Structure formats: C-alpha cells, structure tokens
Amino acid sequence: MLNEDELEILARVMQARREEHGSPLTAWVFLPDPAAAGPAILGPRYLKGLSLVVESVQVSSTRRINVQRGKLG
C-alpha cells in the first residue's frame, strides 16, 4: 500500500509524464490497493500510445518510491 508521500511522488510523476508526452490526461484517481491501477481520463486525440505513458509512469514512480523506501528494483 502506498503512503501519502508515495502518492505525492506518483502524482508528480503523472504530471511530469503528461507534460513530457504531450498527453491530454485530464484526471486520475489513486486507489488504496497498489495492485489496482487507478482510472485515468485521456483526451481523444492522444498523440502517443496509452501503453507508453502507463509504462513510463509505472517505471518512474516505482524507481522513485523504491529510492524513498531504500529498496532496489
């Protein structure tokens, strides 16, 4: 389960990837269960594949949260 600091990391990563990929990502929701992906709303003219953004968010946020937790991987 993610704590508040980790959810903040995830929110910052979501915003950074939105800007990096030119995504019209307009909203997202974080669910308490980390195994359940939070829903996101994407605009209809998305320039890059959804899988690219999801992968980018997952990799970046996992790395940052693992650093905060002092874990590798």
Q: What tokens were used for 71? A: 């874990």
Q: pLDDT tens-digit profile of 15-51?
A: 888 788 776 666 777 766 655 555 555 554 555 666 7
pLDDT value at residue 8: 86
Is this model's pTM higher than 0.75 or not?
no
* Rounded Cα–Cα distance for residues 24 and 41 (Å): 9
Domain ranges of the chain: 4-69
- At the topology level, CATH places domain 4-69 in Alpha-Beta Plaits (3.30.70)
pLDDT value at residue 58: 85
Decide if pLDDT at 1 tops 80: no
Residue 25: count of CB within 10 angstroms of its CB: 20
Decide if pLDDT at 64 tops 70: yes
Contact yes or no for 10/66 (Cβ under 8 A): no
